[in-house]
Amino acid sequence: MQPHSASQPGWGAQPPQPPANPYGGQPYPGQPPMGGAPVGYGAPQGQYGAYGPQFQPQPGPQGIVVDASYFPLGFMLALTGPKIIVNGMEVPMAKWGQTHVPVGPGQHHVRIATKWLWDMGPAEITVPVAEGHTTHVYYKSPAIAFINGAIGPVPQTAPGAVVSYVCLGVVGVLILLQLLLACTI
């Protein structure tokens, strides 16, 4: 058995350090450089972070307030409601509009879908809740049945809305053409 020397790795010895950023690029915003402190790239202050809007807990009853809505042309969805699942448990009596879900402080996994023949437009997100604060989550059901919904810390737009408007416009043009043809005969 050889005695331990400082040049050989072993208990208490520091492993060799990789070179600082071997590929020569800059780290992603908020990612610490190898062996250093986090780097800030001048991210905007306030409710927007490096990757867009961030959740802003507000004073109020502790928990999550889910504000669920649907695309106006999908008015038949008013007969159903959202299916809200927090940490694997379905929230009873969920409705369109605001639903308060009392939860403790910490990170909570929220999944929302629209009840239909199947869970239409699922969307999920992790929501932070601070002690004694309310965190708002906004969900918008999709305009087209087979795509995901939108969820986030700010009011959302309906995914697929542009396609719905285009289809509605095409149908309107076809009806006008039929009327014009009927009037000329």
Which residue would you say has higher pLDDT here, 171 or 5? 171
The pTM assigned to this predicted structure is: 0.65
Where do the domains of the chain lie? 53-165
Give 96-123 pLDDT, tens digit per residue: 999 999 999 999 999 999 988 888 999 9
Extended beta strands in 12-149, E state: 48-49, 52-53, 58-59, 63-69, 82-86, 89-90, 97-101, 106-115, 119-129, 133-140
Q: What pLDDT shows up at residue 128?
A: 92
For all residues of the chain together, what is the average pLDDT? 77
| 139/39: higher pLDDT | 139
Share of the chain above pLDDT 90, in %: 41
| 23 pLDDT above the threshold of 80 | no
Structure-block tokens of residue 111: 């999944």
Query: Which among 174, 176, 142 is positioned nearest to 159, based on CA atoms?
Result: 142
Which of the four CATH numbers 2.60.40, 3.30.300, 2.30.30, 1.10.20 does domain 53-165 have? 2.60.40
Q: Quick one: pLDDT at residue 35?
A: 45
Segment 121-133 shows an average pLDDT of 92
Distance of CA 70 to the CA centre of its chain: 16
Average pLDDT, stretch 28-40?
43
Task: Look at residue 3 in the predicted model and tell me its pLDDT.
Answer: 53
Higher pLDDT, 171 or 22: 171
